Amino acid sequence: MRVLGVDPGLTRCGLGVVEGAPGKPLRLVAVDVVRTSAAMPLGERLLAIESKLDEWIAEFGPDAVAVERVFSQHNVRTVMGTAQASGVATLVAARRGLPVASHTPSEVKAAVSGNGRADKNQVAFMVMRLLRLKDKPAPADASDALALAICQVWRGGADNRLRAAMNKNGARR
């Protein structure tokens, strides 16, 4: 299973593609950060993010997309832009017929490190370990996008097994 993780943002939007299955080793396929300048009109920034996502979906053919679920606890100014970028990511994935999952930051942290309150550094360390990289992925947006993809590979796997089990039970009746 191949997942594109998106850590949405206007200034930096993290993208990470990971391949794997629950209980099997994970593999890094690609990682990058789309940057757009605050001097650009909002529409241009969203277009740049849309175009990069479209390109990546065409190039890497993920089976699913995982987008970080945005909360509004944070900085009010930033969070609106983040929500708008996440809307564009969800739109692009849906247009391609891909399932879109969303995970909260603490779900992602818990998935990769066992601790829902892990800090950025710990997440980056675990992403490096799990993907057998030589260095921690940087910046944090890149690392977070990979962590999201890993979380979805594992959770998606659990969902798939559940669905398979349910179908099996259905067949038994």
Q: Which of 4, 33, 57, 70 binds its own copies (CB under 8 A)?
A: 70
Regarding 76 and contact with its own copies (CB under 8 A), the answer is yes
* 141 annotated as belonging to a binding site for a ligand: yes
* 54 annotated as belonging to a binding site for a ligand: no
Which one, of 97, 98, 107, lies nearest residue 147 by Cα?
A: 107
Positions annotated as catalytic residues are 7, 68, 141
- Return phi, psi of residue 17, to 5°: -110, 130
Regarding 79 and contact with its own copies (CB under 8 A), the answer is yes
Q: Which helix (H) or strand (E) holds 28?
A: strand 27-35
Scanning residues 87 to 106, which ones bind its own copies (CB under 8 A)?
Answer: 87-88, 90-91, 93-95, 100, 102
16/32 Cα distance (integer angstroms)? 7
Q: Which of 47, 110, 128, 133 binds its own copies (CB under 8 A)?
A: 47
In b/e form, how buried is each residue of 111-146, taking b as 16+ CB within 10 angstroms?
A: bbbeeeebeeeebbbbbbebbeeeebbeebbbbbbb
- The residues binding its own copies (CB under 8 A) are 41-44, 46-47, 50, 70-72, 76, 79-80, 83-88, 90-91, 93-95, 100, 102
Which residues contribute to the annotated binding site for Mg(2+)? 7, 68, 141
